[in-house]
Structure 1
Amino acid sequence: MKKIKWAILGPGAIASDFAKAIIEVNGSIYAVGSRSLKKSQEFASHYHIERAYGSYEEMLKDDEIDVVYISTPHSNHYEYIMESLNNNKHVLCEKAITINGTQLKEVANLAKQKNLIMAEAMTIYHMPLYKKLRHMIHSGKIGKLKMIQVSFGSCKEYDVTNRFFSKELAGGALLDIGTYAISFSRYFFSNQPNEILTTMKKFETGVDEQSGIVLKNSMDEMAVISLTMRAKMPKRGVISGELGFITVDNFPRASTATINYLDGRVEEVEAGETSKALLYEVEAMNHYILHKNNENTLDLSIDVMNTMDEVRKQWGRI
């Protein structure tokens, strides 16, 4: 079987964790690229990477690379996805995969034209627990799906210069943490939401600090989402049906869930390991590439991005 050669574009904090995952799954990483050759070389030395490049452009011209993992801030994901695809590289990009639906549609169309795989590094789509829960829900375990509740509060330190609060760097709660919450809802919804209501409080820099979002689809399934970047809230998802409800705590990388039934029974569900969240993403991407599977999770990412576009439209900005 062909060994897939991975490259990392942007050796930051999350890239370090992802490098460990690639090595555990693939045994090695082929290349790393940074705007700083010194930083790239230090990263390559630490993770025993074969090639280190001092520019993204130079790295992407390396014909040996099969797939690029992009871990830069999401404000420039579009630019680097386009350049990777134009250099005939498959792409796995950190969330949020782009900053709006127009960008995502353009890169998705290019990937399709060039017969390349593109996917979002969204843990929700790859954790074994969620695949198991979705199968249980489809089998009627909790009856007809009615309501999803998701909360995510990440109390970021007050710092107007931080990228989380920067309008120029596409900061704000929605693109940073809201993408997890909406991805959770969409993963279990039968189809894309077609009704959206929302309200938002701005941070002083103009980005969204906290918000409430209500979604409904054509099957009358609903989701209520609470987000904040200046208060602590549980990362909790609750999926409710006619026969019971499923609670998932610390949902972005969850491996356990609890089902409470109407008759008082309680069932614990386990699948996968939280510590292997990034390994599951690497394994999934390898599978997509080796099996030339364009029917991956990208359609879910597109639905989520279109939902976020409508949310921001109602807030008065895109």
Structure 2
Amino acid sequence: MQKAKAFADQYNIPKAYGNYDSLLFDPEIDVVYIATPHSHHADLILKSLRNGKHVLCEKAITMNGKQLEEAVYLAKEKNVILAEAMTIYHMPLYHKLKDIISSGQLGKLKMLQVSFGSLKEADPSNRFFNKEIAGGALLDIGVYALSFARFFLNQQPSEILTTMNLYETGVDEQSGILLKNEKNEIATVSLSFRAKMPKVGMAAFEKGYITVTDYPRADKALITYPDGATETVEAGDSAKALHYEIAHMTDKILNGTKDDYLALTQDVMAIMDDLRQQWGLQYDFE
């Protein structure tokens, strides 16, 4: 409580709580934002939903599809909103790109390439490699790459091929992923926790390809046409990425805005479940 009170005083926050229950039992709290390690997301999501709170939860929203299914069901039962704080779904740039794609000017989607590599300190005790709190590249950075791919794919992948290297703690250090759906759209995804790679996503269409650099919070993309001509597309502001998530959550609560972001979140979780099953990677507390 002392730590929470000091934080509240520093930022002029009217209330502070010494534990989760006292916050969740407060009738004046409408929405809860969950940013604990993802190993603890499911329990806090369910507790929040049971207390009638709308929930915006950091990625990966849960550990697996079973947990997510339970949360989705409970949110519907309680008539509250559940959403994943996935920046890709909320950045204005992606909605502008979707409009361009929908116009047909680029033709059909053919290929996607997505990479995300972070050079994390080789410390087995930190959260990135700690299996006790669901460490590993897939649930931390892979969810971004897969969300980028699923956002552009017109259908959930039906074929998933993969290979992975384990870190000494038993979590995934790096992996290669190949996705294909029944529309013959193919995506390749490269992830690493011990090698820096550019956060670049590329979507190739019949009549040009889109390149998005630093795609998790991008506000700019480049379209390259077959003749070499290029077009820059800009929308939003990278610095306001979290603002867009909050604005969307508020709009959804107040106005009942319809979107399929939660469906995309469920699709990505299904892909990650499949990958971990192929890898034989499970966490003791699942």
- Using the size of structure 2 for normalisation, the TM-score is 0.97
Task: Determine the C-alpha separation between the residues in 2 that align with 1:93 and 1:113.
Answer: 18
* Higher mean displacement: 291-300 or 256-265: 291-300
**In the alignment, residue 98 of structure 1 is paired with which amino acid?**
T
Is the Cα contact below 8 Å between 1:288 and 1:296 reproduced in 2?
Answer: no
Task: Determine the C-alpha separation between the residues in 2 that align with 1:296 and 1:214.
Answer: 24
Return the match for 2:12 from 20, 39, 48: 48
Deviations 1:146-195 (CA, angstroms, capped at 9, x unpaired): 00000000110110000110111010000000000000000111121111
Task: Determine the C-alpha separation between the residues in 2 that align with 1:47 and 1:223.
Answer: 44
Return the match for 1:146 from 110, 127, 131: 110
Aligned to 1:134: 98
Task: Determine the C-alpha separation between the residues in 1 that align with 2:173 and 2:184.
Answer: 29
How do residues 57-136 of structure 1 correspond to structure 2 at under 5 angstroms?
57-136=21-100
Question: SS of the counterpart of 1:168?
Answer: helix
Return the match for 2:158 from 174, 194, 197: 194
Question: SS of the counterpart of 1:300?
Answer: helix
Is the Cα contact below 8 Å between 1:117 and 1:293 reproduced in 2?
Answer: no
**In the alignment, residue 72 of structure 1 is paired with which amino acid?**
T
Question: SS of the counterpart of 1:287?
Answer: helix
Q: CA deviation at 1:134?
A: 1.3
Is the Cα contact below 8 Å between 1:124 and 1:253 reproduced in 2?
Answer: yes
Return the match for 2:276 from 312, 315, 318: 312
Question: SS of the counterpart of 1:278?
Answer: helix
Unaligned runs of 5+ in 1: 1-36
Deviations 1:251-290 (CA, angstroms, capped at 9, x unpaired): 1000001011002211011000000100000000000100
Asked if residue 158 in structure 1 is aligned to residue 132 in structure 2, the reply is: no
Q: CA deviation at 1:92?
A: 0.2
Q: CA deviation at 1:104?
A: 0.3
Question: SS of the counterpart of 2:195?
Answer: coil
Asked if residue 220 in structure 1 is aligned to residue 189 in structure 2, the reply is: no
Task: Determine the C-alpha separation between the residues in 2 that align with 1:124 and 1:66.
Answer: 25
Asked if residue 252 in structure 1 is aligned to residue 216 in structure 2, the reply is: yes
> Percent same amino acid among aligned pairs?
60
Question: SS of the counterpart of 1:232?
Answer: strand
Aligned to 1:12: none
Regions of 4+ moved over 6 Å: none
Return the match for 2:265 from 301, 304, 309: 301
1:202 and 1:95, CA in 2 relative to 1: closer, same or farther beyond 3 A?
same
Q: CA deviation at 1:294?
A: 6.1
Task: Determine the C-alpha separation between the residues in 2 that align with 1:317 and 1:264.
Answer: 44
- Using the size of structure 1 for normalisation, the TM-score is 0.87
Task: Determine the C-alpha separation between the residues in 2 that align with 1:264 and 1:153.
Answer: 28
Task: Determine the C-alpha separation between the residues in 2 that align with 1:99 and 1:141.
Answer: 39
**Number of residue equivalences:** 282
Return the match for 2:252 from 277, 281, 288: 288
**In the alignment, residue 82 of structure 2 is paired with which amino acid?**
M
1:294 and 1:90, CA in 2 relative to 1: closer, same or farther beyond 3 A?
farther
Asked if residue 232 in structure 1 is aligned to residue 180 in structure 2, the reply is: no
Unaligned runs of 5+ in 2: none
Task: Determine the C-alpha separation between the residues in 1 that align with 2:278 and 2:233.
Answer: 38
Task: Determine the C-alpha separation between the residues in 1 that align with 2:105 and 2:149.
Answer: 18
Task: Determine the C-alpha separation between the residues in 1 that align with 2:198 and 2:234.
Answer: 20
Aligned to 1:29: none
Task: Determine the C-alpha separation between the residues in 1 that align with 2:260 and 2:82.
Answer: 8
Task: Determine the C-alpha separation between the residues in 1 that align with 2:239 and 2:229.
Answer: 29
Q: CA deviation at 1:39?
A: 1.9
Task: Determine the C-alpha separation between the residues in 2 that align with 1:77 and 1:303.
Answer: 18
Task: Determine the C-alpha separation between the residues in 1 that align with 2:256 and 2:98.
Answer: 24
Task: Determine the C-alpha separation between the residues in 1 that align with 2:11 and 2:264.
Answer: 32
Is the Cα contact below 8 Å between 1:238 and 1:245 reproduced in 2?
Answer: yes
Question: SS of the counterpart of 1:165?
Answer: coil
